[in-house]
Structures are given as structure tokens and as C-alpha cells.
A = this chain, B = another copy of it.
Amino acid sequence: MQTSPPRQPTLDEVAARAGVSRTAASRVINNLPYVSEAKRAAVEQAVRELGYVPNPTARALAGRRVGSVVLALSSDQPGLFADPFFAEVTVGISSFLEQTELELVLLLADTARGKERLRRLLGSRRADGVVLMAVHGDDPLVRLAEQTELPVVFGGLPLTGTPRWYVDPDNRGGARSAVEHLVRGGRRTIAMITGQPDLQAAVAREQGFREALTLAGLSPAALAPGGFTQAGGEAAMARLLTERPDLDAVFAANDGMALGALRALRRHGRRVPEDVAVIGFDDLGEARYADPPLTTVHQPVRALGHELARVLLAAIEGQDPSPLILPTRLTVRASAP
């Protein structure tokens, strides 16, 4: 036997207690004009006394906004979210949303079911907006996302086309700065471990790599795909060493692959950085603790999340925020001094 369930007070109860109409009470709650100071005060007191909290469900049904935004990863790799990159982005988004009343819904669409859910979501007003990340190659969701009236902000560009709203790290510039650093350090035989070719970030990093080499009058010593994983990077490095035993530097499209490369180099008896310099991309904490500590292109991951949320909010509010390219910056450590 319980005491009667302490039902949440409703707006009607607040209004009754304050001696005003529900409409007036609603205006006070939402901080709208056309309420006298006296009534405003009365309502505010009633709210305090009753511990009133607006019911977001009712609000969503009656009004336009739903009160939540979705962070969706549309990937083909189950568990991709476990990548620390996304966790950091999520923290950034969440910390921005904390200043608002919006809730963050996580939609990890890495299965057919998940994708179906995301598709349905885009076609209906069940959230106020969507941050869409990790879209691969020809993901049909990209087109869907562009057609829906729901504001969709892309975290990272899709492989083709340019969405209306996006926030993207400067992948090309970052890759370029890495290569420039290697060239400045006297390296001439520079290879690259590339990421997945159906990810725009991987393509852009490879582009930057090639550009910088061309500008320096060099050409790539070799390239090998590493699939953005540590194991893949290790294998790729081994292949590169076979192909170009004379290479004196390698640029990996992310830190995980760079760490794998370090392992492979060690196993093959190459000293880092004396024989081979290594540069990664991301700077996600693990880089600092690598052995040797990894020189890497830092990207402001948490800021990325922050900006994604900011842009999405602006879009929801009917503004037309401009897309954003976030600067990246080379962090020099021992692996490529």
C-alpha cells in the first residue's frame, strides 16, 4: 500500500491557485508578454509552492517544438560509437545543450533496424533537429536528410554534395601541415596510411597529403589503407615497409593507425623518429601516451560537438547559420620532432 501517487501538479492547478486563467499562467511559464506584474508574481509563487514543472510531452503535442534533438550515427560498423572520437563529440554536444531545455537522444543506426528508425525520424517531427555523423559513401540517408524539413546538421561532410548545414574539421589543412612539418624536418620519402575511402574525412586527409607533397616538389612514396583501426594501421605499415624499405616518414590518417604503425616499425627494428618519423591525426589522448609520444594533427573534438549543437540550435530557431570549418593544428611530439 502506497500513499496516493504524488501526481505532478498541472498548469491548471497552478492557475487556480494563483487565481488566474490557464492562458495567463502559460504566458508566465513561457515568459511571454501581456501579463500584468501582479498576475505574473502570483503565478510564480504558485509555481514555487506547488513545485510545478511543465510536462514536456503535453508541450510537445500542443506546441511546435518537441524538446529534444537527436545525435545519429549512420554507420555500418556496429559499435563505432565506442570510438573515443564520438564520445568526445557527444560530451561537447551535451555540454552545450545543458544550457538549453533540450534533451539529447542517441540514435546509433548501425543496423538495418537502426537505419530504419533514423529514416522514420527524419520523415517526422519527433525531434526538433538532428546531428548526423559518420555517414559513409553513398548513404541514402544523406538525400533523405536534405529533403526533410527537419533541421539536420552534418558532423563531417558526406562524401558527395555539400549539405546546407555542417561543421567539419579542416582535414585537408591538417594533413597538409603534417606533411609540411615532415618536409621541413628533411624527410623526403613520405608514405601515408589512409583511412576508409568512403569517408570524406579520409579522402580530404589524403588530398591534403598529396597537395602538400606536390607543393614541396615531391610525390607520395607509397599509400596503404589502414581502415582507421590500430590493427589495420599495423598491417598497412608492414606493407609500406615492404614496398618502400627506404621510407623516412609516414603520415597516418588517424591516431589509431599511427599507433599501429609505431608497433610495426618497432617490430621491424626501425627507430622512431630517427629512421622513420610518424605523424597521426586526431590527438585523442592516447597520442600523448604513445611510445614515443605521437606527433599528430590536433582537432578540437569537443569544440566540434559544441559547434554542432550551436549550429543546430540556430537552425532550429529559424536562422540560417553558416557552415563551419574548424581549424586543426599540428601538435609536435617525439615521433616527429
Contact = CB atoms under 8 A, between A and B. Distances in A.
A8 B78 contact: no
A107 B91 CA distance: 10
| Interface range for A | 35 or more
A82 interface: yes
A82 B88 contact: yes
Given A103-B105, A111-B98, A286-B286, A57 B53 contact: no
A82 B91 contact: yes
Assembly of this chain: how many copies?
Answer: 2
A47 B233 CA distance: 49
A104 B105 contact: yes
Nearest to A114: B98
Interface in A49-96: 53, 55-58, 60-61, 66, 68, 71, 78-79, 81-84, 86-88, 90-91, 94-95
A57 to B, nearest CB: 5
A315 B210 CA distance: 56
A117 B95 CA distance: 13
Nearest to A286: B286
A279 interface: no
Contact of A103 (B88, B99, B107): B107
A2 to B, nearest CB: 8
Contact of A259 (B86, B113, B149, B289): B289
Given A60-B57, A107-B103, A124 B8 contact: yes
Contacts of A103: 105, 107
Contacts of A113: 98-99
A82 B84 contact: yes
A90 B94 contact: no
A302 interface: yes
Contacts of A230: 285, 289
A57 B55 CA distance: 11
Given A8-B125, A57-B126, A124-B8, A106 B108 contact: no
A120 interface: yes
9 contacts: A58-B61, A71-B106, A79-B302, A82-B91, A84-B84, A95-B111, A104-B107, A259-B289, A263-B291
The 4 A-B residue pairs with the shortest CB-CB distance, nearest first, are A87-B87, A94-B108, A57-B60, A82-B87
